[in-house]
Amino acid sequence: MVDLSMDVFGVEFQNPVMLASGTCGYGEEYADLIAVDELGGIVTKAVTPEARAGNPPVRITETPGGMINAIGLANVGLEGFKREKLPWLRDNLRRAHVLVNVAGWSVDDFVKVVAGLDEQDGFLGYEINVSCPNVEGGTMFGTDELALAQLVGALRAATQRPLVIKLTPNVADIGLFAQICEDNGADGLSAINTFPGMVIDVEARRPVIGNVTGGISGPAIRPMGVYATWKVASRVELPVIGIGGICNARDTLEYILAGAALVQIGTAMFVDPYTAPETIEGLREICARQGVDKLAHLVGALEA
């Protein structure tokens, strides 16, 4: 039997496959389609201090090799999350680990969410979104070295739970920003968030997305995500969660070989909600065929 487990953040993940923030709601939305508790885990939709309606429509459309979205961090807010969403996670996910995605526009915003959740049960830790390209100021912390250092340091002082920083690819040296996170107390890194993009309706001569621009995701960005994961894993000792364009087991193994201990599947779940469980089964099949008895042995095993 192939062992797909990964020991990360002081706990065992039964497999490396997680659902990405913003693509799986708060977990319950997929519960009638797949066995969510059979996954490695999920990352919730972003939580901000106050509820947000998000950007005006159109907020999502297909692009060649993926999609573009500008949801605008629509969410139920801190108190709504505790009241409406966290109880389901607590009561239904026994083996799949939960990271709560946290967003904000100031250090105080991020700290308020973390401090407001830290005494609650039902989740493992936090994924800190410093890299959303779909709202004004959404990448401020992710592209400013000093601001990022201050934010990570403040959050480290606010919690002992695992603290994972979601990096933006829109910097000259992603390894440098990974190093800043490590130096200031982060426990892990997610690489990467979406790339900014734009789609124009040439008949109407208007942007398709109501926000004008949005974030590009899907298979088109997978090579960049794998590259970023490799750069980050080569720079720091922290565990890396690989994100971007994963559609199957082979895609997942690209990230793992590049240095990721875990991965997140997002856009593919809109196309086929069975992508995540099928990816887990595909990992077993490939490892068995290659004679790999423990998947963790392949983390960073790229022969370059």
Options 132, 181, 247, 287, the catalytic residue? 132
Q: Which of 249, 245, 253 is nearest to 192 (CA)?
A: 245
- Which run of H or of E encompasses 290? helix 275-290
Q: How confident is the model at residue 131 (pLDDT cuts 50, 70, 90)?
A: confident
Place of tokens 């913003």: 22
* Structural contact between residues 22 and 71, judged by C-beta atoms closer than 8 angstroms: yes
Q: What was the pLDDT predicted at 279?
A: 98
Q: What was the pLDDT predicted at 210?
A: 96
Q: What was the pLDDT predicted at 32?
A: 96
Query: Tens digits of per-residue pLDDT, 148-159?
Result: 999 999 999 999
Q: What was the pLDDT predicted at 123?
A: 98
Q: How confident is the model at residue 137 (pLDDT cuts 50, 70, 90)?
A: low
Query: Tens digits of per-residue pLDDT, 52-90?
Result: 999 999 999 999 999 999 999 999 999 999 999 999 999
Token pair recorded at residue 287: 């490892």
Mean of the per-residue pLDDT values for the chain?
Answer: 96
Question: What number is the average pLDDT over the span 256-271?
Answer: 97
- Whether the per-residue pLDDT at 136 is higher than 80: the answer is no
- Whether the per-residue pLDDT at 138 is higher than 60: the answer is no
* Structural contact between residues 132 and 73, judged by C-beta atoms closer than 8 angstroms: yes
Please give the Cα distance from 232 to 248 (Å, whole number): 22
Tally the C-alpha atoms within 13 A of residue 241's C-alpha that lie toward its C-beta.
Answer: 34
- Which run of H or of E encompasses 204? none
Query: Tens digits of per-residue pLDDT, 155-213?
Result: 999 999 999 999 999 999 999 999 999 999 999 999 999 999 999 999 999 999 999 99
> What length does the chain have?
304
Structural domains of the chain, ranges and CATH numbers in brackets: 6-298 (3.20.20.70)
Q: What was the pLDDT predicted at 198?
A: 97
Q: What was the pLDDT predicted at 133?
A: 67
Question: What number is the average pLDDT over the span 137-142?
Answer: 74
Query: Tens digits of per-residue pLDDT, 17-32?
Result: 999 999 999 999 999 9
What is the bridge-based pairing of β-strands 41-43 and 17-19?
parallel
Q: What was the pLDDT predicted at 303?
A: 83
Q: How confident is the model at residue 95 (pLDDT cuts 50, 70, 90)?
A: very high
Query: Tens digits of per-residue pLDDT, 206-234?
Result: 999 999 999 999 999 999 999 999 999 99
Q: What was the pLDDT predicted at 140?
A: 80
CA dist list (Å): 145 to 49, 94, 178, 280: 24, 37, 10, 37
Q: What was the pLDDT predicted at 139?
A: 66
pTM for this predicted structure:
0.97
Q: Where are the beta strands (DSSP E) in the chain?
A: 6-8, 11-13, 17-19, 41-43, 60-63, 66-69, 97-102, 125-129, 163-166, 188-191, 195-197, 200-201, 206-207, 214-217, 240-243, 260-265
Q: How large a percentage of the chain has pLDDT more than 90? A: 96
Helices (H), 28-122: 77-80, 86-92, 107-117
Q: How large a percentage of the chain has pLDDT more than 70? A: 97
- Whether the per-residue pLDDT at 134 is higher than 90: the answer is no
Could you confirm whether 132 is annotated as catalytic?
A: yes
